[in-house]
Amino acid sequence: MIRNANEMKVVAEKHDHYKVGYKNAVESVMRAIERASKQGYRKTCFNPPAYWYTTEIGIRTYMCFDDEVKKEFEKHGYRFEPTGYIGGVLQRTENICW
């Protein structure tokens, strides 16, 4: 039986590993914004870090918070735009703008 995705998301968000990884990702993006602002910029590359943790039995797990962090910053008035071309090469990244 396949469970509803929203139900599984609620289960995942209750774990401490999820909370720590999410908090680290938000703080990392905020530090990048503060650094860029101090240098006079109004945008920077949106690149929240992934989070690795090891369970009690030694299994390494990877968590990526790009979508969750993006929604959180959009709630606070930040917007996102594609990076575009750099040196003639289309970049698959996004800039966060304020």
Question: What backbone torsions phi and psi does residue 65 show, to the nearest 5 degrees?
Answer: -115, 20
Backbone angles phi, psi at 46, to 5 degrees: -85, 110
- Among 86, 80, 55, CA closest to 66: 80
Share of the chain above pLDDT 70, in %: 98
Give the end-to-end CA distance of the chain in Å, rounded to a whole number.
44
Q: Tell me: the pLDDT tens digits for 9-34?
A: 777 777 777 888 889 999 999 999 99
At residue 72, the 3 state secondary structure works out as helix
Q: Are 98 and 33 in contact (CB under 8 A)?
A: yes
pTM for the whole thing? 0.79
